[in-house]
Amino acid sequence: MNELRRARPAAVAGKFYPKEPEELREAVKASLCPASGGPRPKVIIVPHAGYQFSGATAGGVYSELIPYRDDIGRVIILATAHRTPECGLIAPETDIFATPLGMIAVDVFAVNALAAAGLCSKSAEAHAQEHSIEVQLPFIQMVIGHCKIVPFVVGPCEPECIVQALETLDASRDDTLVVVSSDLSHFLSYDQSRVIDRETAELIEKLDQDKITTERMCGAFGVRGVIKYAKRHGYSAKTLEICNSGDRSGSTDQVVGYGGFAFYS
């Protein structure tokens, strides 16, 4: 099969982020900042809204990876499933994702190994219009550069399903980063969002997955799983930033919360 036919084309370029390559590069660069100098994150939680709303938060998280970019060769992505009722981890049927910045290869061997173990399904439809993976890719392409991705959209499932998948993928490997794509609270008032999202941040820092719900985070299933995985591997969690769409747009009636978090070994 022709390589281009196996590519999942960009679906939300020009909507969630700029479709022109140079404009997109500048948008990502503008969101990056000097790294704090801390240890390398093993897992990050990053928002997936339009760059005008959550790009600065995402950029702040990805900036922490800049000193370690040469160490990362594989990125496992656990993204919110917005467009499919399927449960569990759902892999794409393609082996390449396209963005305006070029192609990024899927680690097909890893995906097939997980599918063979019965720990994920495959669906082209579940990925075709899903933005929660796609908006992460320009950051990965510019911050990390040459790497492969292991992308999943995550439907309803128990945390142990995520843990088993991450163990099978050997996610604690030195060359591997796990990215969980999730926003925080949705459509609360500005003040309500600030309270709820701070509570959620405390739960993440305490590694308390049982109280992480879809009312708190749209990507709750993935987050709960990585928290359980983090506890098993002795990771700690830190909040890097919290804000909401009201901070960016000035509209405070119904906002969406955005948070950046990192887990360290």
The single-letter code of the amino acid at 147 is: C
CATH code of residue 7: 3.40.830.10
pLDDT at 259: 98
Print the domain residue range for 93: 3-264
Q: Name beta bridge partners: 148.
A: 74
Which tokens in the block code for residue 82? 């917005």
Q: Which residues in the chain land under pLDDT 70?
A: 1-5
For 106-116, write each residue's pLDDT tens digit.
999 999 999 99
Q: What is the pTM of this model?
A: 0.96
**What is the tally of structural domains in the chain?**
1
